[in-house]
Structure 1
Amino acid sequence: MATEFDKILDKCIDRINGGEDIESCLADYSEHADELRLFLNAMTQTKSTYSFTPSNSAKAEARQRFNNALRERQQRREARQPFSTRFLGWSRVWATAAAVILIAIVGYFGLRPVLFPSDNTPLPSPKGNFVFLISDDANAIGDFTSLTLTISGIGLLPEGSENWIEFEPEVDTADLTLLQGEVSQQIWRGDISAGEYIKVFIYISDVTGELKDEAEAGPVEIKLPSGKLHLSVPFQVSADTVTWFTYDLTVVATGSSQNGPKYILRPVVGESGAVTEQD
Protein backbone atom coordinates (compact mmCIF):
# COMPACT_ATOMS: atom_id res chain seq x y z
CA MET A 1 0.00 0.00 0.00
CA ALA A 2 2.88 2.35 0.80
CA THR A 3 4.37 1.72 -2.66
CA GLU A 4 1.06 2.52 -4.35
CA PHE A 5 0.73 5.78 -2.37
CA ASP A 6 4.29 6.81 -3.25
CA LYS A 7 3.57 6.32 -6.94
CA ILE A 8 0.35 8.33 -6.69
CA LEU A 9 2.18 11.10 -4.83
CA ASP A 10 4.86 11.22 -7.55
CA LYS A 11 2.18 11.46 -10.24
CA CYS A 12 0.44 14.31 -8.42
CA ILE A 13 3.71 16.21 -7.95
CA ASP A 14 4.43 15.89 -11.68
CA ARG A 15 0.94 17.11 -12.53
CA ILE A 16 1.20 20.12 -10.23
CA ASN A 17 4.65 20.98 -11.58
CA GLY A 18 3.03 20.88 -15.01
CA GLY A 19 0.51 23.53 -13.96
CA GLU A 20 -2.45 21.51 -12.63
CA ASP A 21 -4.09 22.45 -9.34
CA ILE A 22 -4.17 20.28 -6.20
CA GLU A 23 -7.92 19.73 -6.19
CA SER A 24 -7.90 18.14 -9.65
CA CYS A 25 -5.36 15.59 -8.50
CA LEU A 26 -7.20 14.88 -5.25
CA ALA A 27 -10.41 14.27 -7.20
CA ASP A 28 -8.71 11.51 -9.19
CA TYR A 29 -7.36 9.80 -6.04
CA SER A 30 -10.13 10.45 -3.52
CA GLU A 31 -9.23 7.38 -1.44
CA HIS A 32 -5.88 9.02 -0.58
CA ALA A 33 -7.11 12.63 -0.55
CA ASP A 34 -6.35 13.42 3.11
CA GLU A 35 -2.77 12.13 2.99
CA LEU A 36 -2.08 13.65 -0.42
CA ARG A 37 -3.39 17.07 0.61
CA LEU A 38 -0.90 17.22 3.51
CA PHE A 39 2.12 16.49 1.28
CA LEU A 40 0.99 18.55 -1.71
CA ASN A 41 0.13 21.61 0.37
CA ALA A 42 3.58 21.48 1.96
CA MET A 43 5.20 21.28 -1.49
CA THR A 44 3.24 24.18 -3.02
CA GLN A 45 3.79 26.38 0.05
CA THR A 46 7.53 25.88 -0.27
CA LYS A 47 7.45 26.69 -4.00
CA SER A 48 5.36 29.82 -3.37
CA THR A 49 7.74 30.98 -0.66
CA TYR A 50 10.88 30.64 -2.76
CA SER A 51 9.63 31.25 -6.32
CA PHE A 52 10.74 34.90 -6.33
CA THR A 53 12.00 37.65 -4.04
CA PRO A 54 9.66 40.67 -3.93
CA SER A 55 10.87 44.17 -3.26
CA ASN A 56 10.63 45.70 0.23
CA SER A 57 7.72 47.89 -0.80
CA ALA A 58 5.88 44.91 -2.25
CA LYS A 59 6.47 42.95 0.96
CA ALA A 60 5.06 45.83 3.01
CA GLU A 61 1.98 46.03 0.80
CA ALA A 62 1.43 42.27 1.01
CA ARG A 63 1.87 42.39 4.82
CA GLN A 64 -0.72 45.18 5.07
CA ARG A 65 -3.19 43.18 2.95
CA PHE A 66 -2.57 40.13 5.12
CA ASN A 67 -3.22 42.11 8.34
CA ASN A 68 -6.45 43.48 6.87
CA ALA A 69 -7.53 39.96 5.95
CA LEU A 70 -6.81 38.78 9.50
CA ARG A 71 -8.92 41.58 10.98
CA GLU A 72 -11.81 40.74 8.67
CA ARG A 73 -11.47 37.06 9.58
CA GLN A 74 -11.53 37.93 13.31
CA GLN A 75 -14.74 39.92 12.85
CA ARG A 76 -16.40 37.00 11.06
CA ARG A 77 -15.28 34.61 13.81
CA GLU A 78 -16.84 36.82 16.48
CA ALA A 79 -20.08 37.03 14.50
CA ARG A 80 -20.28 33.24 14.00
CA GLN A 81 -19.46 31.37 17.21
CA PRO A 82 -19.75 27.82 15.76
CA PHE A 83 -17.01 28.60 13.23
CA SER A 84 -14.87 30.12 15.97
CA THR A 85 -15.18 26.97 18.02
CA ARG A 86 -14.06 24.81 15.10
CA PHE A 87 -11.21 27.16 14.25
CA LEU A 88 -9.83 27.04 17.80
CA GLY A 89 -9.72 23.27 17.52
CA TRP A 90 -7.14 23.40 14.74
CA SER A 91 -3.62 22.39 15.58
CA ARG A 92 -0.86 24.99 15.48
CA VAL A 93 0.59 23.27 12.44
CA TRP A 94 -2.57 23.77 10.37
CA ALA A 95 -3.01 27.32 11.59
CA THR A 96 0.54 28.14 10.46
CA ALA A 97 -0.05 26.43 7.11
CA ALA A 98 -3.23 28.46 6.58
CA ALA A 99 -1.31 31.67 7.28
CA VAL A 100 1.41 30.75 4.79
CA ILE A 101 -1.17 30.00 2.10
CA LEU A 102 -2.99 33.28 2.75
CA ILE A 103 0.26 35.26 2.54
CA ALA A 104 1.11 33.57 -0.77
CA ILE A 105 -2.33 34.33 -2.24
CA VAL A 106 -2.35 37.94 -1.07
CA GLY A 107 1.22 38.44 -2.22
CA TYR A 108 0.51 37.05 -5.69
CA PHE A 109 -2.55 39.16 -6.40
CA GLY A 110 -0.97 42.21 -4.79
CA LEU A 111 2.14 41.88 -6.95
CA ARG A 112 0.51 40.80 -10.20
CA PRO A 113 0.71 44.31 -11.74
CA VAL A 114 4.47 44.16 -11.09
CA LEU A 115 4.83 40.64 -12.50
CA PHE A 116 2.71 41.36 -15.58
CA PRO A 117 3.25 44.98 -16.64
CA SER A 118 1.08 46.32 -19.46
CA ASP A 119 3.78 48.51 -21.07
CA ASN A 120 6.31 45.79 -21.91
CA THR A 121 4.59 44.16 -24.90
CA PRO A 122 6.77 43.16 -27.87
CA LEU A 123 5.37 43.68 -31.35
CA PRO A 124 5.12 40.98 -34.03
CA SER A 125 7.50 41.16 -36.97
CA PRO A 126 7.99 38.75 -39.91
CA LYS A 127 11.77 39.03 -39.42
CA GLY A 128 11.78 39.11 -35.62
CA ASN A 129 14.45 37.40 -33.51
CA PHE A 130 11.99 35.11 -31.65
CA VAL A 131 9.55 32.54 -33.04
CA PHE A 132 7.02 30.69 -30.84
CA LEU A 133 5.64 27.32 -32.00
CA ILE A 134 3.15 24.75 -30.67
CA SER A 135 3.53 20.97 -31.10
CA ASP A 136 2.04 17.78 -29.64
CA ASP A 137 3.72 14.79 -27.99
CA ALA A 138 2.05 11.44 -28.71
CA ASN A 139 0.05 10.15 -25.75
CA ALA A 140 -3.75 9.95 -25.91
CA ILE A 141 -4.02 12.23 -28.96
CA GLY A 142 -4.95 9.14 -31.00
CA ASP A 143 -8.33 9.11 -29.23
CA PHE A 144 -9.35 12.36 -30.93
CA THR A 145 -10.53 13.45 -34.36
CA SER A 146 -9.78 17.03 -33.27
CA LEU A 147 -8.39 18.76 -30.18
CA THR A 148 -8.41 22.53 -30.60
CA LEU A 149 -6.82 25.11 -28.29
CA THR A 150 -7.66 28.80 -28.19
CA ILE A 151 -4.54 30.64 -27.01
CA SER A 152 -5.07 34.10 -25.52
CA GLY A 153 -1.52 35.00 -24.51
CA ILE A 154 2.12 34.03 -24.09
CA GLY A 155 4.41 35.04 -21.21
CA LEU A 156 8.22 34.92 -20.90
CA LEU A 157 10.20 35.53 -17.70
CA PRO A 158 13.74 36.95 -18.10
CA GLU A 159 16.38 35.62 -15.73
CA GLY A 160 16.89 37.82 -12.66
CA SER A 161 13.66 39.77 -13.26
CA GLU A 162 10.19 39.77 -11.76
CA ASN A 163 8.65 41.47 -14.83
CA TRP A 164 7.06 39.11 -17.33
CA ILE A 165 7.07 39.87 -21.06
CA GLU A 166 3.60 39.13 -22.44
CA PHE A 167 2.18 39.20 -25.95
CA GLU A 168 -0.84 37.94 -27.86
CA PRO A 169 -0.43 35.24 -30.52
CA GLU A 170 -0.82 36.15 -34.17
CA VAL A 171 -2.52 32.77 -34.70
CA ASP A 172 -4.72 32.01 -31.70
CA THR A 173 -6.00 28.47 -32.45
CA ALA A 174 -4.19 25.17 -32.90
CA ASP A 175 -5.49 21.64 -33.49
CA LEU A 176 -3.11 19.26 -31.71
CA THR A 177 -4.21 16.28 -33.83
CA LEU A 178 -2.45 18.00 -36.77
CA LEU A 179 0.76 18.70 -34.82
CA GLN A 180 2.06 15.25 -33.94
CA GLY A 181 5.66 14.08 -34.12
CA GLU A 182 7.99 16.65 -35.69
CA VAL A 183 5.12 18.83 -36.94
CA SER A 184 4.69 22.23 -35.28
CA GLN A 185 2.66 25.39 -35.86
CA GLN A 186 4.04 28.92 -35.66
CA ILE A 187 1.74 31.18 -33.65
CA TRP A 188 3.95 34.28 -33.18
CA ARG A 189 7.12 35.88 -34.47
CA GLY A 190 8.54 39.20 -33.36
CA ASP A 191 11.39 40.97 -31.60
CA ILE A 192 12.07 40.50 -27.89
CA SER A 193 14.96 41.72 -25.77
CA ALA A 194 18.17 39.69 -25.99
CA GLY A 195 19.11 37.76 -22.86
CA GLU A 196 18.41 34.66 -20.78
CA TYR A 197 14.82 33.51 -20.15
CA ILE A 198 13.85 30.91 -17.55
CA LYS A 199 10.06 30.36 -17.69
CA VAL A 200 7.35 30.26 -20.35
CA PHE A 201 3.57 30.52 -19.88
CA ILE A 202 0.79 30.04 -22.39
CA TYR A 203 -2.71 31.24 -21.49
CA ILE A 204 -5.48 29.08 -22.96
CA SER A 205 -9.01 30.45 -22.94
CA ASP A 206 -10.69 27.36 -24.38
CA VAL A 207 -9.95 23.72 -25.27
CA THR A 208 -12.39 21.46 -27.12
CA GLY A 209 -12.00 17.88 -28.27
CA GLU A 210 -13.96 15.40 -30.38
CA LEU A 211 -13.41 11.66 -29.78
CA LYS A 212 -13.06 9.03 -32.50
CA ASP A 213 -14.93 6.34 -30.53
CA GLU A 214 -18.51 6.26 -31.82
CA ALA A 215 -19.79 5.21 -28.40
CA GLU A 216 -18.24 8.32 -26.88
CA ALA A 217 -18.67 10.62 -29.88
CA GLY A 218 -19.11 14.31 -29.17
CA PRO A 219 -17.39 16.87 -26.95
CA VAL A 220 -15.35 15.46 -24.06
CA GLU A 221 -14.12 17.00 -20.81
CA ILE A 222 -10.47 18.15 -20.98
CA LYS A 223 -9.03 19.61 -17.79
CA LEU A 224 -6.85 22.67 -18.10
CA PRO A 225 -5.09 23.68 -14.85
CA SER A 226 -5.88 27.29 -13.92
CA GLY A 227 -6.35 28.44 -17.52
CA LYS A 228 -2.61 28.41 -18.19
CA LEU A 229 0.31 26.04 -18.62
CA HIS A 230 3.89 26.80 -17.65
CA LEU A 231 7.37 25.46 -18.28
CA SER A 232 10.64 26.12 -16.49
CA VAL A 233 12.96 25.79 -19.49
CA PRO A 234 15.93 28.18 -19.71
CA PHE A 235 16.88 29.51 -23.15
CA GLN A 236 18.93 32.29 -24.72
CA VAL A 237 17.74 34.99 -27.14
CA SER A 238 20.24 36.99 -29.20
CA ALA A 239 19.71 40.16 -31.22
CA ASP A 240 21.54 38.87 -34.32
CA THR A 241 20.11 35.34 -34.54
CA VAL A 242 16.62 33.81 -34.55
CA THR A 243 15.48 31.73 -31.57
CA TRP A 244 12.79 29.15 -32.37
CA PHE A 245 10.98 28.02 -29.20
CA THR A 246 8.71 24.98 -29.45
CA TYR A 247 6.15 24.54 -26.66
CA ASP A 248 5.23 20.85 -26.66
CA LEU A 249 1.88 19.72 -25.23
CA THR A 250 0.28 16.36 -24.60
CA VAL A 251 -3.17 15.13 -23.64
CA VAL A 252 -3.37 12.34 -21.06
CA ALA A 253 -6.35 10.06 -20.37
CA THR A 254 -7.39 9.98 -16.69
CA GLY A 255 -10.96 8.67 -16.79
CA SER A 256 -12.30 5.17 -16.16
CA SER A 257 -14.92 2.87 -17.67
CA GLN A 258 -17.24 3.74 -14.76
CA ASN A 259 -16.84 7.52 -14.92
CA GLY A 260 -16.36 7.89 -18.67
CA PRO A 261 -13.44 9.39 -20.59
CA LYS A 262 -11.59 12.34 -19.06
CA TYR A 263 -8.40 14.00 -20.21
CA ILE A 264 -5.79 16.45 -18.92
CA LEU A 265 -3.73 18.81 -21.05
CA ARG A 266 -0.10 19.11 -19.91
CA PRO A 267 3.18 20.64 -21.12
CA VAL A 268 6.03 18.27 -21.96
CA VAL A 269 9.30 19.57 -20.54
CA GLY A 270 11.53 17.03 -22.25
CA GLU A 271 10.23 17.86 -25.74
CA SER A 272 10.02 21.64 -25.30
CA GLY A 273 12.85 24.07 -25.81
CA ALA A 274 14.66 26.46 -28.13
CA VAL A 275 17.04 26.24 -31.06
CA THR A 276 18.97 29.17 -32.47
CA GLU A 277 19.99 29.79 -36.07
CA GLN A 278 21.00 32.57 -38.42
CA ASP A 279 18.04 34.07 -40.27
Structure 2
Amino acid sequence: MKRNFAYETYRSVEADSNYKTARDRKRYEDVLTARTKQTELPFLRKHFRNGTGSVLEVGSGSGRILHALLLAGLAKSAVGIEISPSRVRFGKKWAHKLGLSRVSHRTGDFLSMDVPEKFDAILCVTSIFPFFDMLEKGGLMKALRKMKKSLRPQGAIVLESVTFNNEVSLSRVSGGSARVWEEYAKGDPFRFNLVEYILDEKKRVLVARSQNVMRDRAHVDAPTIKKWHLESAETLGQSLRRAGFRNIRFFGDFNSSVYKEGKSPRIIAIADT
Protein backbone atom coordinates (compact mmCIF):
# COMPACT_ATOMS: atom_id res chain seq x y z
CA MET A 1 0.00 0.00 0.00
CA LYS A 2 1.32 3.44 -0.95
CA ARG A 3 2.17 5.62 2.03
CA ASN A 4 0.66 8.78 0.52
CA PHE A 5 -0.52 11.92 2.33
CA ALA A 6 -3.83 10.28 3.23
CA TYR A 7 -2.04 7.37 4.91
CA GLU A 8 0.36 9.68 6.75
CA THR A 9 -2.50 11.93 7.88
CA TYR A 10 -4.78 9.20 9.22
CA ARG A 11 -2.41 6.39 10.22
CA SER A 12 -2.66 7.12 13.99
CA VAL A 13 -6.20 8.48 14.15
CA GLU A 14 -8.29 6.69 16.81
CA ALA A 15 -5.20 4.78 17.97
CA ASP A 16 -5.50 2.91 21.27
CA SER A 17 -2.98 5.31 22.84
CA ASN A 18 -5.48 8.19 22.48
CA TYR A 19 -7.73 6.70 25.18
CA LYS A 20 -6.46 6.35 28.74
CA THR A 21 -9.34 4.19 29.93
CA ALA A 22 -12.24 2.15 28.58
CA ARG A 23 -14.50 4.93 29.82
CA ASP A 24 -12.64 7.47 27.64
CA ARG A 25 -13.06 5.20 24.64
CA LYS A 26 -16.77 4.68 25.34
CA ARG A 27 -17.25 8.43 25.66
CA TYR A 28 -15.69 8.92 22.24
CA GLU A 29 -17.81 6.14 20.72
CA ASP A 30 -20.90 7.87 22.11
CA VAL A 31 -19.83 11.13 20.41
CA LEU A 32 -19.49 9.31 17.07
CA THR A 33 -22.84 7.55 17.51
CA ALA A 34 -24.66 10.80 18.31
CA ARG A 35 -23.08 12.51 15.30
CA THR A 36 -24.15 9.71 12.95
CA LYS A 37 -27.72 9.68 14.28
CA GLN A 38 -27.99 13.41 13.63
CA THR A 39 -26.45 13.52 10.17
CA GLU A 40 -25.82 10.57 7.84
CA LEU A 41 -28.31 8.07 9.26
CA PRO A 42 -31.52 10.14 8.81
CA PHE A 43 -30.38 11.11 5.30
CA LEU A 44 -29.72 7.51 4.27
CA ARG A 45 -32.96 6.33 5.85
CA LYS A 46 -34.90 8.90 3.82
CA HIS A 47 -33.26 8.13 0.48
CA PHE A 48 -32.96 4.35 0.92
CA ARG A 49 -36.42 3.53 2.26
CA ASN A 50 -35.91 -0.19 1.64
CA GLY A 51 -32.42 -0.10 3.14
CA THR A 52 -29.01 -0.18 1.51
CA GLY A 53 -28.78 -3.97 1.21
CA SER A 54 -25.12 -4.96 1.03
CA VAL A 55 -23.11 -1.76 1.40
CA LEU A 56 -19.49 -0.75 0.85
CA GLU A 57 -18.05 2.38 2.42
CA VAL A 58 -14.87 3.80 0.92
CA GLY A 59 -12.98 5.69 3.61
CA SER A 60 -14.98 4.10 6.41
CA GLY A 61 -12.87 5.38 9.30
CA SER A 62 -14.12 4.00 12.61
CA GLY A 63 -17.05 2.29 10.88
CA ARG A 64 -19.58 4.48 12.68
CA ILE A 65 -21.88 4.80 9.65
CA LEU A 66 -21.78 1.10 8.75
CA HIS A 67 -22.41 0.13 12.37
CA ALA A 68 -25.37 2.51 12.55
CA LEU A 69 -26.88 1.12 9.33
CA LEU A 70 -26.61 -2.46 10.59
CA LEU A 71 -28.01 -1.64 14.03
CA ALA A 72 -30.93 0.23 12.44
CA GLY A 73 -31.71 -2.70 10.12
CA LEU A 74 -30.92 -0.58 7.04
CA ALA A 75 -28.08 -2.81 5.80
CA LYS A 76 -27.85 -6.58 5.42
CA SER A 77 -24.06 -6.66 5.34
CA ALA A 78 -21.27 -4.10 5.24
CA VAL A 79 -17.67 -3.74 4.13
CA GLY A 80 -15.50 -0.78 5.09
CA ILE A 81 -12.25 0.07 3.32
CA GLU A 82 -9.98 2.44 5.22
CA ILE A 83 -6.36 3.46 4.60
CA SER A 84 -5.58 3.96 8.30
CA PRO A 85 -4.57 0.77 10.18
CA SER A 86 -5.39 2.37 13.55
CA ARG A 87 -8.91 3.27 12.46
CA VAL A 88 -9.50 -0.26 11.14
CA ARG A 89 -8.39 -1.70 14.48
CA PHE A 90 -10.72 0.72 16.27
CA GLY A 91 -13.61 -0.27 14.01
CA LYS A 92 -13.05 -4.00 14.49
CA LYS A 93 -12.99 -3.67 18.27
CA TRP A 94 -16.09 -1.49 18.24
CA ALA A 95 -17.99 -3.89 15.98
CA HIS A 96 -17.08 -6.80 18.27
CA LYS A 97 -18.30 -4.85 21.30
CA LEU A 98 -21.59 -4.13 19.49
CA GLY A 99 -22.00 -7.77 18.50
CA LEU A 100 -21.93 -7.00 14.78
CA SER A 101 -20.78 -9.99 12.75
CA ARG A 102 -21.92 -8.83 9.30
CA VAL A 103 -19.34 -6.06 8.93
CA SER A 104 -15.82 -6.42 7.54
CA HIS A 105 -13.25 -3.70 8.24
CA ARG A 106 -10.36 -3.81 5.76
CA THR A 107 -7.12 -1.83 5.57
CA GLY A 108 -6.18 -0.63 2.11
CA ASP A 109 -6.05 2.02 -0.59
CA PHE A 110 -9.26 1.75 -2.62
CA LEU A 111 -7.54 2.95 -5.79
CA SER A 112 -5.09 0.05 -5.81
CA MET A 113 -6.69 -2.82 -3.85
CA ASP A 114 -8.86 -5.61 -5.18
CA VAL A 115 -12.57 -5.52 -4.28
CA PRO A 116 -14.09 -8.79 -5.52
CA GLU A 117 -17.64 -8.44 -4.15
CA LYS A 118 -20.69 -6.75 -5.65
CA PHE A 119 -22.76 -4.30 -3.59
CA ASP A 120 -26.20 -2.70 -3.63
CA ALA A 121 -24.89 0.65 -2.40
CA ILE A 122 -21.52 2.37 -2.07
CA LEU A 123 -20.86 5.29 0.26
CA CYS A 124 -17.93 7.68 -0.05
CA VAL A 125 -18.68 10.40 2.46
CA THR A 126 -16.95 12.58 5.12
CA SER A 127 -15.08 14.59 2.45
CA ILE A 128 -13.16 11.61 1.07
CA PHE A 129 -13.94 11.74 -2.66
CA PRO A 130 -12.09 15.09 -3.22
CA PHE A 131 -8.89 13.27 -2.13
CA PHE A 132 -8.74 10.96 -5.14
CA ASP A 133 -7.45 13.47 -7.70
CA MET A 134 -4.81 14.52 -5.16
CA LEU A 135 -3.65 10.93 -4.68
CA GLU A 136 -3.05 10.29 -8.37
CA LYS A 137 -3.80 11.92 -11.70
CA GLY A 138 -7.33 11.03 -12.76
CA GLY A 139 -7.92 9.46 -9.35
CA LEU A 140 -11.55 10.50 -9.00
CA MET A 141 -12.54 9.05 -12.37
CA LYS A 142 -10.65 5.85 -11.58
CA ALA A 143 -12.45 5.58 -8.22
CA LEU A 144 -15.89 6.25 -9.74
CA ARG A 145 -15.42 3.65 -12.47
CA LYS A 146 -14.25 1.13 -9.91
CA MET A 147 -17.30 1.87 -7.76
CA LYS A 148 -19.58 1.49 -10.78
CA LYS A 149 -18.00 -1.90 -11.53
CA SER A 150 -18.52 -2.96 -7.89
CA LEU A 151 -22.25 -2.17 -7.89
CA ARG A 152 -25.06 -4.53 -8.80
CA PRO A 153 -27.74 -3.48 -11.32
CA GLN A 154 -30.09 -0.94 -9.70
CA GLY A 155 -27.30 -0.06 -7.30
CA ALA A 156 -26.57 3.43 -6.05
CA ILE A 157 -23.63 5.56 -4.98
CA VAL A 158 -23.58 8.33 -2.37
CA LEU A 159 -20.81 10.94 -2.42
CA GLU A 160 -20.50 13.69 0.19
CA SER A 161 -18.05 16.42 1.08
CA VAL A 162 -18.13 19.69 2.92
CA THR A 163 -17.79 22.56 0.44
CA PHE A 164 -15.15 24.54 2.35
CA ASN A 165 -16.91 27.80 1.47
CA ASN A 166 -15.71 29.61 4.61
CA GLU A 167 -12.16 28.29 4.31
CA VAL A 168 -11.98 29.32 0.65
CA SER A 169 -13.36 32.80 1.41
CA LEU A 170 -10.93 33.32 4.30
CA SER A 171 -8.00 32.21 2.15
CA ARG A 172 -9.03 34.58 -0.65
CA VAL A 173 -9.25 37.67 1.55
CA SER A 174 -6.01 36.72 3.33
CA GLY A 175 -3.89 36.52 0.22
CA GLY A 176 -4.21 32.81 -0.47
CA SER A 177 -3.92 31.29 3.00
CA ALA A 178 -5.61 31.53 6.38
CA ARG A 179 -5.07 30.13 9.88
CA VAL A 180 -8.04 29.03 11.97
CA TRP A 181 -8.77 26.88 15.01
CA GLU A 182 -11.76 24.95 16.25
CA GLU A 183 -12.69 23.18 19.45
CA TYR A 184 -13.73 19.54 19.30
CA ALA A 185 -16.86 18.22 21.01
CA LYS A 186 -16.56 16.97 24.57
CA GLY A 187 -15.65 13.30 24.60
CA ASP A 188 -13.06 13.65 21.83
CA PRO A 189 -9.53 12.88 23.07
CA PHE A 190 -8.35 16.07 21.36
CA ARG A 191 -9.55 19.52 22.39
CA PHE A 192 -8.31 21.91 19.68
CA ASN A 193 -7.57 21.64 15.98
CA LEU A 194 -5.20 24.28 14.58
CA VAL A 195 -5.24 24.58 10.78
CA GLU A 196 -3.55 26.58 8.05
CA TYR A 197 -5.49 26.54 4.77
CA ILE A 198 -3.71 27.23 1.48
CA LEU A 199 -5.80 27.83 -1.65
CA ASP A 200 -4.72 27.38 -5.27
CA GLU A 201 -7.59 29.02 -7.19
CA LYS A 202 -6.27 28.07 -10.62
CA LYS A 203 -6.03 24.36 -9.81
CA ARG A 204 -9.08 24.42 -7.50
CA VAL A 205 -7.01 22.79 -4.76
CA LEU A 206 -7.29 23.42 -1.03
CA VAL A 207 -4.51 22.22 1.29
CA ALA A 208 -4.85 22.00 5.07
CA ARG A 209 -1.86 21.71 7.38
CA SER A 210 -3.13 20.92 10.85
CA GLN A 211 -2.18 19.91 14.38
CA ASN A 212 -4.31 18.68 17.27
CA VAL A 213 -3.95 19.58 20.94
CA MET A 214 -4.76 16.80 23.42
CA ARG A 215 -7.57 17.39 25.90
CA ASP A 216 -6.11 15.86 29.05
CA ARG A 217 -2.40 16.55 28.73
CA ALA A 218 0.06 19.07 27.29
CA HIS A 219 0.68 17.39 23.96
CA VAL A 220 0.47 18.58 20.36
CA ASP A 221 0.51 15.86 17.71
CA ALA A 222 2.68 15.91 14.59
CA PRO A 223 1.50 18.11 11.70
CA THR A 224 -0.69 16.44 9.08
CA ILE A 225 -1.57 17.48 5.54
CA LYS A 226 -4.84 17.04 3.69
CA LYS A 227 -5.46 17.98 0.05
CA TRP A 228 -8.84 18.35 -1.64
CA HIS A 229 -9.74 19.01 -5.26
CA LEU A 230 -12.75 21.32 -5.00
CA GLU A 231 -15.68 20.03 -7.04
CA SER A 232 -18.84 21.81 -8.13
CA ALA A 233 -22.15 20.14 -8.97
CA GLU A 234 -21.29 20.67 -12.64
CA THR A 235 -17.83 19.04 -12.52
CA LEU A 236 -18.91 16.22 -10.22
CA GLY A 237 -21.98 15.53 -12.34
CA GLN A 238 -19.81 15.35 -15.46
CA SER A 239 -17.49 12.85 -13.78
CA LEU A 240 -20.38 10.69 -12.61
CA ARG A 241 -21.91 10.59 -16.09
CA ARG A 242 -18.55 9.74 -17.66
CA ALA A 243 -18.24 6.85 -15.21
CA GLY A 244 -21.63 5.51 -16.35
CA PHE A 245 -23.93 6.73 -13.57
CA ARG A 246 -27.38 8.17 -14.21
CA ASN A 247 -30.26 9.85 -12.39
CA ILE A 248 -27.89 12.12 -10.44
CA ARG A 249 -29.41 14.13 -7.59
CA PHE A 250 -27.63 16.83 -5.59
CA PHE A 251 -28.31 18.01 -2.06
CA GLY A 252 -26.79 20.79 0.04
CA ASP A 253 -26.78 19.07 3.43
CA PHE A 254 -27.97 16.00 5.30
CA ASN A 255 -31.39 17.65 5.72
CA SER A 256 -31.83 17.04 1.95
CA SER A 257 -31.90 20.76 1.17
CA VAL A 258 -31.43 21.88 -2.45
CA TYR A 259 -27.77 22.28 -3.36
CA LYS A 260 -26.76 25.92 -3.98
CA GLU A 261 -23.32 26.55 -5.44
CA GLY A 262 -21.17 28.67 -3.14
CA LYS A 263 -23.76 28.64 -0.36
CA SER A 264 -24.53 25.07 0.71
CA PRO A 265 -22.31 23.68 3.50
CA ARG A 266 -22.05 20.32 1.74
CA ILE A 267 -22.27 18.78 -1.68
CA ILE A 268 -24.02 15.41 -1.63
CA ALA A 269 -24.66 13.38 -4.76
CA ILE A 270 -26.74 10.24 -5.15
CA ALA A 271 -26.52 8.44 -8.51
CA ASP A 272 -27.82 5.15 -9.90
CA THR A 273 -26.13 2.51 -12.04
TM range, normalised to the smaller chain?
under 0.3
TM-score by length of 2: 0.24
Bigger radius of gyration: 1
More helix, by proportion: 1
